Amino acid sequence: MLAFNVFGATEGGLFDINATLPLMAIQVVALTYILNSLFFKPVGNVVEKREKFVSNNIIEAKNKLSEVKKLEADLMTQLQSARSEAQRIVGEAENESDKLYKEALELANNEANASKEKARLEIESQTSAARDQLSKQADDLSELIVNRLILEK
């Protein structure tokens, strides 16, 4: 008997609609405002602040990365030019030293040749002088010998 009262009862039943409905609606609306101030706003603030922070950091990092890349490229070109400059300077220095070496060599050769020539001339003159002296002495000696031989006679 009770079971048949489930749907057809004047009081109660599954589809018994009464003042519970509007009061529940009011309760849900109130809950919306309470949850908005207790939950959605504060959590939203924190989450959005963090999202902003993260995206700002990402942008900043990207900017820094591009700056680093630019600086790296700059550095590479500088390095390149410095390297070629250094090569140029080294080449120049090599040429110069080569030139200097050749000049010095030539100078030294000339000097050596000159002093050799001078020495040769000196030797020659001394030889001839010594020869002259020798022949003079030989003359003197022969004269002396001749004189002695004459005197003994």
Partner 1 sequence: MFFNSLLSNFAALEVGQHLYWQIGNIRLHGQVFLTSWILLGALLVFISLGTKKMENDPKGLQNLLEFLWDYIRDLARTQIGEKVYRDWMPFIGTLFLFVFVSNWGGALIPWRLIKLPSGELGAPTADINTTIALALLVSLSYFYAGLSNKGWRYFEYYVHPTPIMLPFKILEDFTKPLSLSFRLFGNILADELVVGVLVFLVPLILPIPVMFLGLFTSAIQALIFATLAAYYIGEAVEEHH
Compute the distance between CA of residue 95 and CA of residue 102 in angstroms, rounded to an integer: 10
Residues in the chain: 153
Task: Classify the C-alpha dihedral 61-62-63-68 as positive or negative.
Answer: positive
Helix (H/G/I), strand (E/B), else coil: 19 = coil
Site string for partner 1, 43-72 (x = CB under 8 A): xx-xx-xx--x-------------------
As measured in angstroms, the least distance from the Cβ of 63 to partner 1 is: 23
Binding of partner 1 by 17 (CB under 8 A): yes
As measured in angstroms, the least distance from the Cβ of 39 to partner 1 is: 5
Binding of partner 1 by 32 (CB under 8 A): yes
Helix (H/G/I), strand (E/B), else coil: 153 = coil
Binding of partner 1 by 12 (CB under 8 A): yes
Among 10, 15, 150, 152, which residue sits at the site for partner 1 (rule: CB under 8 A)?
15
- Residue 3 one-letter amino acid: A
